[in-house]
């Protein structure tokens, strides 16, 4: 290793009040990227992006000229050049270090003292973990948590924020959209330009290309999707404008100009991804009756919690997701009423308790230690639901008026900043005095389990549903006589979750005959039913199970189903056979998850 590389490793000043992020190789303490200018061509035939990333940097220390260390994964670096504020580019020394299975490889670039910009010519590989390539021609990225580095060389940590501009060239008949302000009327030239003026973390940089159509829903909201679904998607999401208004009334102005949604193919590995100005969403939420639009409320809520105030490291992920689940439910309550919020909150706590029972203690902690681990492993219901319970607990102790004012000011105070759990705690103690005695803050943040004083949301509607389930299970009421009139999706979900673990074949048939669960078009209900199907080996639903696993690549659905399947030898064999057919259609992130289960 040459001396400037060593110098970089030794002179890392401690960050104030911050744990250093362990997931990048990069050295933002010394040199920090402020702007990215991306110029790339989307080559469907080779399944790669090819082009250049020009990074404008600020130096943190004036002694010496530390190298710039960037994060990469499977990138082919062609050329690296540097330039001053003005003036021509000239070649510079660079070295691509050894690869790590989780982190990728550091790209170390020699930076002369006057260098203010660096241009990297590169191409991605067909295996890039952020990208999925589909036929007919369509591709999209998923950068969170640390996949941005597989399509752009940059400082891949949520602690570094940058603005970006981009020029993207595609086949002429396709449209490119990004996590920036998109022009709904952009002519289809195959040459598209984007600007994201706000400073955002790398995990929010996103691109999608396909045969996309646009339908407006309001003057600042709309939907992009393939022609076959765009109309029904616009209908399904018609309450988006109301949600946006509800969120602004609660937490202050929406700062991202437009809020559009992009409906992706079913292989999208997540339910939704809060890319600024353009939420990416799975089509599995198109239930036809708006019953799954809490996902829109969730991704929209990230416009405050996550995109505006961002977790500085992946150990602080609960600051993004816990706050977002809390805000999501406040939006739902305003738009759909308190009973709906209560049902969502009860389901949330139930999910948390069920998942926690299976998690090792270290994964039950909000401020999680991810040393040596992929940050995607931290995305359990703990940051989401335990985080949301902490905020609900604060709301209950201090009252809505005070807590709402606190949150509004918190979003304002830290707008466009990345903060750690420690910074949040300091702010909380100062602005909501007594918080750490009103709730056991240290226990919430650093201990496994759920504190005894945690809120226990209740829903009257669910109490009635559970009673119906009990009566059926006890043999007091046949399925055809269960009082289901007017049940919403959430009530059906609670019903399924309230059934006993073991149900005989005849009883499974009775349920299915009465309610046609196997044929439901609602993905959440189907998921819950298929878990029961696998657990009880209800063979008539196996073809549907296979069809679902082959056509849908949403990780949240795949993981519990494959995990349930591998519990028995014949289930494992079935899982392996299905996976053989399904894997080519999964996004690399989903495939990695299932690989882990079937290994």
Known catalytic residue at 563: no
Q: Residues interacting with Zn ion, by CB under 5 A?
A: 321, 324
Residues in 357-386 at the binding interface with ligand BES, rule: CB under 6 A: 376, 379
DSSP state, 478?
Answer: -
- Residue holding tokens 């799975």? 282
- The pattern of x and - marking residues 136 through 175 that bind ligand BES according to CB under 6 A reads --------xx------------------------------
Q: Is 299 a catalytic residue?
A: yes
Closest approach, Cβ 203 to ligand BES, in A, equals 8
In 3D space, the residue among 46, 73, 203 whose CA is nearest the CA of residue 139 turns out to be: 46
Least CB distance from residue 344 to ligand BES, whole Å? 10
The residue from 203, 384, 557, 579 that is catalytic is 384
DSSP string, 226-264: -HHHHHHHHHHTTTHHHHHHHHHHHH----SS-EEEEEP
Which one of the spans 191-199, 295-303, 427-435, 577-585 is the region binding ligand BES (CB under 6 A)? 295-303
CB of 584 to Zn ion, least distance (A): 28
Distance between CA 351 and CA 261 in Å, rounded?
Answer: 27
Query: For ligand BES, what does the binding mask look like between residues 102 and 121, x meaning CB under 6 A?
Result: --------------------
* Residue whose C-alpha is closest to residue 327's, from 404, 254, 379: 404
Query: How big is the site for ligand BES, counted in residues (CB under 6 A)?
Result: 15
Instruction: By CB under 6 A, tell whether 67 contacts ligand BES.
Output: no
Tell me the angle at which helices 523-535 and 542-551 cross, rounded to the nearest 10 degrees. Answer: 130
Show the tokens assigned to 158: 């949520």
Q: Which helix (H) or strand (E) holds 218?
A: none
Residues 6 or more apart whose Cβ sits within 8 Å of residue 509: 538, 540
Question: Which of 92/324 has CB closer to Zn ion?
Answer: 324
Tokens (6 digits) for 577:
């056979």
Q: Is 271 in the site for ligand BES (CB under 6 A)?
A: yes
Sheet with 131-134: strands ordered across = 131-134, 138-141, 207-210, 175-178
Query: β-pairing, 138-141 with 207-210?
Result: antiparallel
Among 156, 236, 299, 342, binds ligand BES (CB under 6 A): 299
* CB 112 to ligand BES: min, Å: 37
Q: Pick from 105, 154, 273, 432: which binds ligand BES (CB under 6 A)?
A: 273
Which partner from the list Zn ion, ligand BES, none does 236 bind, CB cut-off 5 to 8 Å by kind?
none
274 versus 395: smaller Cβ distance to ligand BES: 274
Q: Is there binding between residue 298 and ligand BES (CB under 6 A)?
A: yes
Q: Nearest 5°: phi and psi at 278?
A: -150, 85
Nearer to ligand BES, 54 or 196 (CB): 196
What are the counts of helices (DSSP H) followed by strands (DSSP E) for the chain? 20, 21
Listed ranges 34-42, 183-191, 269-277, 575-583: which one lies at the site for ligand BES (CB under 6 A): 269-277
Q: Which residues contact 76 (CB under 8 A, 6 or more apart)?
A: 122, 123, 124, 125
- From the list 84-92, 181-189, 217-225, 270-278, the region that binds ligand BES by CB under 6 A is 270-278
Buried b (16+ CB within 10 A) or exposed e, 379-404: bbbbbbbbbbbbbbbbbebbeeeebb
- The answer to whether the CB of 339 falls within 8 A of the CB of 345 is no
Q: Please select the residue that binds ligand BES; options are 156, 236, 274, 528, rule is CB under 6 A.
A: 274
Q: Nearer Cβ to ligand BES, position 379 or 545?
A: 379
- In the complex, minimum distance from the CB of residue 377 to ligand BES, in angstroms, rounded to a whole number: 10
Kindly state whether residue 295 participates in binding ligand BES, applying the rule CB under 6 A.
yes
Residues noted as catalytic: 299, 384
Judged by the rule CB under 6 A, the positions of this chain that interact with ligand BES are 144-145, 270-274, 295, 298-299, 302, 321, 376, 379, 556
């Amino acid at each position: 290793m040459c001396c400037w590389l060593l110098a970089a490793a030794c002179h890392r000043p401690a960050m104030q009040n911050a744990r250093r992020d362990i997931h990048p190789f990069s050295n933002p303490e010394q040199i920090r990227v402020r702007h990215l200018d991306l110029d790339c061509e989307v080559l469907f035939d080779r399944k790669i992006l090819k082009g250049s990333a020009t990074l404008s940097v600020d130096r943190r220390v004036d002694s010496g000229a530390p190298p710039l260390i960037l994060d990469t994964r499977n990138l082919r670096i062609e050329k690296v050049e540097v330039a001053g504020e003005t003036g021509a580019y000239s070649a510079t020394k660079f070295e691509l270090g050894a690869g790590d299975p989780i982190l990728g490889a550091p790209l170390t670039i020699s930076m002369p003292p006057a260098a203010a910009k660096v241009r990297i010519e590169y191409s991605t590989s067909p295996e890039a973990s952020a990208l999925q390539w589909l036929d007919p021609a369509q591709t999209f990225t998923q950068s969170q948590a640390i996949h941005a580095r597989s399509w752009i060389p940059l400082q891949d940590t949520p602690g570094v924020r940058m603005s970006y501009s981009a020029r993207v060239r595609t086949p002429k008949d396709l449209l490119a959209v990004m996590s920036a302000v998109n022009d709904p009327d952009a002519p289809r030239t195959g040459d598209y330009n984007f600007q994201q003026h706000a400073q955002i973390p790398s995990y929010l940089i996103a691109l999608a290309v396909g045969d996309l159509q646009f339908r407006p829903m309001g003057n600042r909201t709309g939907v992009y999707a393939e022609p076959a679904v765009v109309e029904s998607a616009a209908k399904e999401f018609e309450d988006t404008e109301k949600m946006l208004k509800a969120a602004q009334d609660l937490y202050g102005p929406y700062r991202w100009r437009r809020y559009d949604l992009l409906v992706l193919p079913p292989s999208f590995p997540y339910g939704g991804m809060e890319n600024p100005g353009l939420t990416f969403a799975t089509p599995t939420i198109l239930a036809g009756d708006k019953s799954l639009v809490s996902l829109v409320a969730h991704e929209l809520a990230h416009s405050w919690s996550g995109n505006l105030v961002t977790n500085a490291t992946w150990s602080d992920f609960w600051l993004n997701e816990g706050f977002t689940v809390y805000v999501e439910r406040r939006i739902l309550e305003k738009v759909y009423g308190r009973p709906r919020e209560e049902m969502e909150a009860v389901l949330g706590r139930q999910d948390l308790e069920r998942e926690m029972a299976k998690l090792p203690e270290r994964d039950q902690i909000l401020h999680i230690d991810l040393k040596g681990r992929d940050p995607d492993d931290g995305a359990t219901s703990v940051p989401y639901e335990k985080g949301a319970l902490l905020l609900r607990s604060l709301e209950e102790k201090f009252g809505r008026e005070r807590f709402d004012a606190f949150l509004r000011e918190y979003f304002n105070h830290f707008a466009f900043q990345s903060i750690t759990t420690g910074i949040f705690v300091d702010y909380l103690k100062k602005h909501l005095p007594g918080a750490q005695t009103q709730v056991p803050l240290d226990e919430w943040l650093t201990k496994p389990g759920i504190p005894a004083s945690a809120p226990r949301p209740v829903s009257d509607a669910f109490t009635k549903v559970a009673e119906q389930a009990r009566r059926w299970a006890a043999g007091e009421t046949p399925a055809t006589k269960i009082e289901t009139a007017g049940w919403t999706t959430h009530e059906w979900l609670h019903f399924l979750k309230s059934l006993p673990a073991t149900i005989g074949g005849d009883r499974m048939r009775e349920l299915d005959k009465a309610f046609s669960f196997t044929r439901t078009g609602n993905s959440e209900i189907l998921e819950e039913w298929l878990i029961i199907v696998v657990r009880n080996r209800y063979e008539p639903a196996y073809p549907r199970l296979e069809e679902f696993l082959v056509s849908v690549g949403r990780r949240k659905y795949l993981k519990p189903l494959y995990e349930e399947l591998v519990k028995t030898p014949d289930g494992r064999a079935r899982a392996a056979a299905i996976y053989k057919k399904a894997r080519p259609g999964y996004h690399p992130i989903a495939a990695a998850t299932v690989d882990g289960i079937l290994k």
